[in-house]
Homo-oligomer: A and B are copies of this chain.
Amino acid sequence: MDKDLVIGIDVGGTTTKCGVVDARGTVLAQTVVTSLSEDVNDFIATVAEGLGRIIEEAGAKGRIRGIGVGAPNGNYYTGEIKNAVNLTWCKTGTVPFAKLLSKKMGGIPVSLTNDANAAAVGEMTYGAARGMKDFIMITLGTGVGSGIVIDGKVVYGHDGFAGELGHTCAVRDNGRQCNCGKRGCLETYCSATGVARTAREWLEMSDEPSSLRSLDTITSKDVFVAAQEGDAIAKRIFEYTGKILGRSLSDFVAFSAPEAIVLFGGLARAKEFLLEPLEKSMNENMLPLWRGKVDIVFSTLKESDAAILGASALAWEL
């Protein structure tokens, strides 16, 4: 039988999603395993066991062409994961993840990159960026990730770590402290945690009534729900977030002149509140030649499948 299927694996801090995918982007079988091993070999064993199950379930034995993995701090060139603070088995040091997994899976080739790059390949292969050769993927989750596609190829850079747009500077003076050690990073304002942080700061700064005040801890989802219910502060928080994101996007456009920017992730669900201020600020801050010409597109992939599809798309290139 032809090797007509691939596997996509999305490695997260707590759980890892695995799926068998066909050429049309259908997830034939999927499973979720824990990421919380102390040792990488235990984790590889857990993943292999999960893959064995879904390969069986999908009738995919002997048909797997390759495995694509999206993981934090994953390096496409080396297949390694390095200093990934959110992964219990790779907090410090370097793990040759692609090599270990390939060996465990009887030599099936494994391609690895960071999660945002995988998402970009996924959008290009199956999603909103199908047919596009130049676009920038921005993932608005716990952090802000990015995958840059130029002339149909993901940009990996000299060292395999290109596309860290979440750590470009959004606010130069007195910017927020970022986990990376720098100040003012885009991620401290325009991620889910950034939105929650804005909410906490703003609620402290005024006495304006808000339904958010009744909550013990505030998440970006709470802010979204409050905005939908008409809460004025919550709506202004998204306006502010959109404004900051838009002006950063304008600088990204000056770099690679993409035809579109694709937004993905939890925060992208707040499209109704984010899109207008975002487009306004992006267009105001761009050179006239690009105004009104760069589309803001929201991911069209089913959220539950997207991570697997993104990673699996890498495997077709193997």
A256 at the A/B interface (Cβ < 8 Å)? yes
A1 at the A/B interface (Cβ < 8 Å)? no
Which of B153, B158, B247, B256 sits near A162, CB closer than 8 Å? Answer: B256
A219 at the A/B interface (Cβ < 8 Å)? no
A24 at the A/B interface (Cβ < 8 Å)? no
Chain B nearest CB, measured from A123 CB (Å)? 16
A153-B151, A157-B134, A158-B133 known; A180 vs B288 contact (CB < 8 Å)? yes
Q: In the bound complex, what is the Cα–Cα distance between A205 and B209 (angstroms)?
A: 44
* Stretch with Cβ within 8 A of B (4 or more), from A40-48, A163-171, A300-308: A163-171
A251 at the A/B interface (Cβ < 8 Å)? yes
B251 engages A161 (CB within 8 Å)? no
A150-B155, A180-B288 known; A165 vs B254 contact (CB < 8 Å)? yes
Which of B181, B252, B255, B285 sits near A182, CB closer than 8 Å? Answer: B285
Q: Which residues of A are at the interface with B, using a C-beta cutoff of 8 A? A: 83, 133-134, 148, 150-151, 153, 155-165, 167-169, 171-173, 180-182, 247, 250-252, 254-259, 285, 287-290, 293
Other than the given A133-B158, A151-B153, A252-B255, 13 more pairs (CB < 8 A) read A134-B158, A158-B259, A159-B293, A160-B257, A162-B255, A164-B287, A165-B254, A168-B254, A168-B255, A169-B247, A182-B285, A182-B287, A251-B251
